[in-house]
Amino acid sequence: MSEQAVLEQAVLDQAGRRRTFAVISHPDAGKSTLTEALALHARVIGQAGAVHGKAGRRGTVSDWMEMERDRGISITSAALQFEYGPAGGDKAVINLLDTPGHADFSEDTYRVLTAVDAAVMLVDAAKGLEAQTMKLFAVCKHRGIPVITVVNKWDRPGMDALALMDEIADRTGLTPTPLTWPVGIAGDFRGVLDRRDGSYRHFTRTAGGATIAPEEVFTAEQALDREGEAWATAVEESELLAETGQVHDQELFLAHATTPVLFASAVSNFGVGQLLDVLVTMAPPPADRPDVEGKPHPIDAPFSGFVFKVQAGMDTGHRDRLAYIRVCSGVFERGMVVTNARTGRPFATKYAQQVLGRERETIETAYPGDVVGLVNAASLGIGDTLYADHAVSYPPVTTFAPEHFAVVRTADTSKYKQFRKGIDTLGGEGVVQVLVSERRGDGAPIFAVVGPMQFEVAAHRMEHEFGARISLENLPYQIARITDAESAPELAKARDVEVMTRADGELLALFTNKWALGVLERNNPHLTLTPMVAAQLS
C-alpha cells in the first residue's frame, strides 16, 4: 500500500470515530443542562452545574458569557469536544455543539446546523413540540440531518408518553421509534424499559443532579417485582408501539423517515448515558460533503473545511478572534498554510485550538467532523472555505432577513476608536448585520437583527468588551430586500424606503411595511428587490 493510500485510510478510520451533532430545542427545554450532563457522563468534568440550579451551583460549561449566566439562557452557540467509550477500549470522538434556543438567535443556530451530521432535539415533557422546536425540525429535515429526540424533564409532571409520540408523528412527519420507554408517569420517573433488550434500567437520584446518577439493570421479572403496575404498564405500552411499527430501523433513521426517542431528565442526569451510547452506535459519522456545485467532495481528499462561526471576547486577557471551522476532508495539521477560497489568499494556522466551552488548548491534528478554533483569524469570515492542495468551495452560510433596525451612536465621542472596533467585530461575528446609509453617514451605522434581544447582547458587549457604551434609536423599518446599484437611486427617492449598504457590500432596501413594499413592486416591476431568507427557519 502506497504512503498516500495509508494516509487516506487513516483519514477514513479517524472520520469513522467522529460523531458531530448539535443540541437544539425551544428555549428552556434544557439544552445547556443536557450538554453539561453529557460532558459529565463522558467524565470531561467532575461536577455538573446548571443555570437554574440551587444557590452555589456553578453555571454550565457551555454558557460562558456573562449575560448567559445572568439570564439563564444560551445566547451564543458553544463547541465541546471529548472522547467517550469503554475503559481500555476504542473511544469515539464527540464534537458537541450547543445552540441558543431563543428565536432571536436562530441565525446562530442555523449556522451550527451547517456543521453537524446529526441533531439531538430536546422536547419538554410538559410542553411537547413548541414553536421553535418545529422550526428546527423543519431545518434538520430540509438539510437531511438525522434527528434523535430526547423527551426531557420526565421527572416533572407532563404529558402522557403515548400522546407525545402521536404529536411528534403528526406534526413532524417523522415516525417516533422509542429506544427507551419510561417506567412511571411524568413526575414519577423511576427508570426506563430498554426496548432493545427488554431490561429495566433503574435510576437513583443524586444531590442536585451534580454527579452521575447511579444506574442498576434488572431483568423483566425483577422489574415486575420491584415496580409492579408501573412496569406492567410500560411493557403494555411498548408492545402497543411494536404493533404499530414504531421500532428502530437504522436505514429509515438515516433516511430521515424516523426519529429514535429516549426519555430522560437532564437536570438529574437520568438517561443521559443511554443518549451518549446511542450517538456513538447510531448517529452517522462524517461523509463526503457537497461543494458549492452540489458535487460530493471526498472525505479522504486533502484538507478542507469551512468557517461556521466567529467569536471574539472569549479570552478576557486578549482581544483575540476565534474562527470555528468544521473539518470536511483530509487531515488538519497545526501550522499548515491553507488557502481562503473567497479571497485566494493564504492563511497560516499556527494558533489552532480544541475548544471546551470557554476553555481551550492547542491541537496539533484534526480529522473530518472535528471542530477547530483558529485564533487571530481577523481575515476569516463566516462561510469561508479553507483548503490545502485541491481547490474547493463549500456552499455559503445563509444570512437571514433582519426585521428590526436601530441607529447606533457612541455615548462618548472620546471612545470613537473603541466604538468602531466593536462595531466591526460584532458585524464580523454575525451578532448583528451592520448597515451604513448615505443619509446618516459612517458615524451612525445601523444594527439590523432578526430579534430585539440581539440589540441587548450587542449593547452589553460594546460596553463591557470594548469600553464603548452606545445608544440605540429604533427605526420604523420591518422588511429588507436585496437590491442592486441600478435600482438603488430610484429606490432612494421613494417614500418609506431607505437604501443601505451592508458590511459585505450588499445593497439592502428597507421598507416600513409590506404595504409599502407591495405598492412599489406593482408600480415598478423593473426594480431589483430580491427576498432574503426568512428568519423563521422555515
Q: What is the mean pLDDT of residues 361-365?
A: 90
Residues 377 and 439 occupy one common structural domain: no
On whether residue 206 sits in a domain, the answer given is: yes
**Residue 59 scores a pLDDT above 80:** no
Higher pLDDT, 503 or 47: 503
**Distance between CA atoms of 158 and 128, rounded to whole angstroms?**
9
User: Is residue 59 located within the same domain as residue 174?
Assistant: yes
Give the residue, 146 or 428, on which the prediction is more confident: 146
Q: Assess whether 142 and 198 both reside in one domain.
A: yes
Same domain, 507 and 364: no
The predicted structure's pLDDT at residue 213? 77
**199 is written with which cell numbers?**
431490561
Per residue in 153-172, pLDDT (tens digit) is 999 999 999 999 999 999 99
In a domain, 524, yes or no: yes
Q: Would you say residue 279 has pLDDT above 50? A: yes
- Output the nine-digit C-alpha cell for 481: 430586500
Residue 355: the pLDDT is 67
426-480 per-position pLDDT tens digit: 888 888 999 999 888 888 999 999 888 889 889 998 998 889 999 999 999 999 9
Q: What pLDDT is recorded for position 209?
A: 65
pLDDT for res 151? 97
102 is in an annotated binding site: yes
Whether 68 has a pLDDT exceeding 80, the answer reads no
User: Considering only 74-78, 288-292, 384-388, 389-393, which range has the smallest mean pLDDT?
Assistant: 74-78
Give one DSSP letter per residue of 318-387, joined into a string.
S--EEEEEEEEES-EETT-EEEETTT--EEE--SEEEEETTEEEE-SEE-TT-EEEEES-TT--TT-EEE
Going by C-beta distance under 8 Å and a sequence separation of 6 or more, which residues neighbour residue 311? 76, 321, 322, 324, 429
> Rounded to whole angstroms, how far apart are CA atoms 300 and 287?
9
pLDDT for the residue numbered 465: 87
Query: What pLDDT shows up at residue 285?
Result: 97
- Cβ contacts of residue 197 below 8 Å, gap of 6+? none
Residue 412, amino acid: D
Contacts of 272 (CB under 8 A, 6+ apart): 34, 37, 38, 40, 41, 264, 266
7-31: per-residue pLDDT in tens?
Answer: 889 999 999 999 999 988 877 888 8
Q: For residues 70 and 65, what is the distance between their CA atoms, to the nearest angstrom?
A: 9
Identify whether residues 42 and 94 lie together within a single domain: yes
Which range among 336-345, 425-434, 478-487 shows the weakest confidence by mean pLDDT? 425-434
Predicted local confidence at residue 534, as pLDDT: 61
Q: Decide if pLDDT at 139 tops 80.
A: no
Q: Which of residues 329, 356, 387 is at a domain's end?
A: 387
Domain that holds residue 330: 289-387
- CA gap 480, 450 in Å, rounded: 11
Consult the annotation and say whether 211 binds a ligand: no
Residues 6+ apart with CB under 8 A from 388: 302, 303, 304, 330, 336, 337, 338, 339
Write the pLDDT tens digit of every residue in 167-200.
999 999 999 999 999 999 999 999 999 999 999 9
pLDDT category at 392 given cuts 50, 70, 90 is very high
pLDDT of residue 536: 47
Instruction: Return the SS3 of 289.
Output: strand
- E strands, 346-504, in order: 346-348, 352-356, 359-362, 365-366, 371-375, 385-387, 404-410, 433-436, 446-449, 470-474, 479-483, 497-502
Q: What is the pLDDT of residue 317?
A: 53
**Does the CA dihedral 342-99-150-42 come out positive or negative?**
positive
The mean per-residue pLDDT over the stretch 257-268 comes to: 94
pLDDT of 471:
95
Q: 182 and 154 in contact (C-beta within 8 Å)?
A: yes
Determine, yes or no, domain membership for 424. yes
The more confidently predicted of residues 219 and 140 is 219
Same domain, yes or no: 223 and 307: no
CB contact set of 109 (below 8 Å; sequence gap of 6+): 22, 24, 77, 99, 100, 101, 136, 537
In the predicted model, is pLDDT for residue 321 greater than 90? no
Residue 538 lies in a domain: no
Q: What is the pLDDT of residue 60?
A: 45
| pLDDT value of position 393 | 97
Given 333, 359, 387, which residue is the final one in a domain?
A: 387
The percentage of residues in the chain with a pLDDT greater than 90, rounded to a whole number, is 59
Task: Mean pLDDT check: name the lowest of 205-214, 396-405, 406-415.
Answer: 205-214
Residue 304 clears pLDDT 80, i.e. is over it: yes
Q: How far is CA 178 from CA 23, 158, 262, in A?
A: 18, 17, 6
Per-residue pLDDT at 102: 55
Q: What is the pLDDT of residue 55?
A: 37
8 falls within a domain? no
Would you give the end-to-end CA distance of the chain in angstroms?
A: 48
- 392: in domain: no
Residues 359 and 473 occupy one common structural domain: no
CA-to-CA dists, residue 336 to 387, 433, 465, angstroms = 10, 32, 31
C-alpha cell at 456: 441587548
Q: Is 389 annotated as a binding residue?
A: no
pLDDT at residue 64 is higher than 50 = no
For residue 532, pLDDT over 60 is answered with yes
Task: Flag whether the pTM goes above 0.75.
Answer: yes
Mean pLDDT confidence for 369-396: 92
Residue 501 marked in a binding site? no
Same-domain pairing of 269 and 308 = no
**What is the predicted pLDDT for the residue at 320?**
67
Identify which has the larger pLDDT, 71 or 525.
525
**Stretch among 65-74, 132-141, 333-342 having the lowest mean pLDDT:** 65-74
Q: Are residues 315 and 193 in the same domain?
A: no
Q: What is the pLDDT of residue 163?
A: 97
Structural domain total, the chain: 3
CATH number at residue 513: 3.30.70.3280
Q: Which residues contact residue 163 at a Cβ distance below 8 angstroms, ignoring those fewer than 6 apart?
A: none
Q: Residue 278: which CATH number?
A: 3.40.50.300
Quick check: is 164 in a domain?
yes
- Taking alpha carbons only, the member of 413, 375, 384, 269 closest to residue 326 is 384
Whole-number average pLDDT of the chain: 86
Is 89 annotated in a binding site? The answer is no
Residue pair 181/261 in contact by the 8 Å Cβ criterion = no
CA distances from residue 466 to 409, 419, 486 in whole angstroms, order as listed? 14, 7, 38
Output the CA–CA distances (angstroms, integers) from residue 326 to 113, 132, 304, 430, in the order listed. Answer: 11, 25, 9, 17
128 close to 159: Cβ distance less than 8 angstroms: yes
Q: Nearest CA to 307 among 269, 349, 275?
A: 349
Residue 132: pLDDT over 90: no
Residue 347 located in a structural domain? yes
Q: 294 and 278 in one domain?
A: no
| 176 SS3 class | strand
> Does 38 have pLDDT greater than 90?
no
Same structural domain for residues 442 and 524?
A: yes
Out of 387, 422, 453, a domain closes at 387
Q: Are 436 and 501 in contact (CB under 8 A)?
A: yes
**Which segment, 65-74, 91-100, 285-294, is predicted with the most confidence on average?**
285-294
Inter-residue contact 80 to 360 (CB < 8 Å): no
* Look-up of cell digits 495509508: 6
